[in-house]
Amino acid sequence: MSTFVLVHGAWHGGWAWSEVAQRLRRQGHEVHTPDLPGHGNDRTPISEITLQAYADRVASVIDQATQPVVLVGHSMGGVVISQAAEVRPRAIKSLVYVCAFLLQDGQTLLQIADHDRDACVLRNLVFAADHRSAVLKPEVIREVFYGDCTPEVAEWAEKQLNPQAAAPLATPLRVTPENFARIPRIYVECLQDRAISMAVQREMYRAMPCREVFTLEASHSPMLSKPEELTKILLAAA
């Protein structure tokens, strides 16, 4: 049996992985779905949220595992698992990026997002007065995140979203060949994604080659719209 740590993306929380986590647990696997600082039920103030704080939260979960983990990141969570892998390389069996940001050392999420002209996120952001956090315009949330989800699932998920701290998005990833780069990587591309275009997903994983690439006919939240299919991919990755 394997241990999975499933890391959510921007605005979301560990709740986004509930369907996949249930399926993995039913097959006897150990599964952790942490809330990153400021997400889900975590009430860390926006002013204290950093990329390092995200990575530290994931590292603390990895430290509880009794065996090397399959570390999975969705969307922004890709940056988080890369940074966590740098500090816990020997505790990670493989890294799985689910339509996620797979950055090179020194890159920021915003650099990649700004280059992605076919994505719908940046042009629909609404920043707080202090510019420390942002939300998406309500009228585009379902199109961006939940395009192939049922209306009921999309409505439920939309109600769970938190404001997203800006600082982690603008912080350069810092990884090394000795730590992060030694861990096998797997990418799951989603063909209907409106948050990260297919062109940019493929640009990222070609620049950072992966052991295997899986393809889903899904929008940006396959853990909600295609949980059975995504679970099978994660089991294959394990």
Q: What is the mean pLDDT of residues 167-186?
A: 98
Burial degree of 212 (CB within 10 A; 0-12, 13-18, 19+): middle
- Where do the structural domains in the chain lie, given as residue ranges? 3-237
Report pLDDT digits (tens) over 104-149: 999 999 999 999 999 999 999 999 999 999 999 999 999 999 999 9
What does the buried/exposed string (b/e) look like for 51-67 if buried means 16 or more CB atoms within 10 Å of the residue's CB? bbbbbebbbebbeebee
Question: What pLDDT score does 225 carry?
Answer: 98
Rounded-to-integer distance, Cα 26 and Cα 163, Å: 32
Q: How many CB atoms are located within 10 Å of the residue 159 CB?
A: 7
Q: Which two tokens stand for residue 227?
A: 């949980």
Rounded-to-integer distance, Cα 2 and Cα 87, Å: 21
Question: Helix or strand or coil: residue 214?
Answer: strand
DSSP state of 28: T
Q: Write the CA distances from 67 to 121, 170, 231, integer angstroms.
A: 37, 33, 20
Q: What is the mean pLDDT of residues 193-212?
A: 98
Question: What pLDDT score does 49 carry?
Answer: 98
Question: What pLDDT score does 238 carry?
Answer: 87
Give this prediction's pTM: 0.98
Per DSSP, the chain holds a count of helices (H) and strands (E) of 9, 9
Share of the chain above pLDDT 90, in %: 99
Q: Which residue has the tokens 């921007």?
A: 10
Question: Do strands 133-136 and 164-165 pair parallel, antiparallel, or not at all (unpaired)?
Answer: antiparallel
Report pLDDT digits (tens) over 48-59: 999 999 999 999
Fold of the domain built from segment(s) 3-237: Rossmann fold (3.40.50)
The answer to whether 185 and 82 have CB atoms below 8 angstroms apart is no
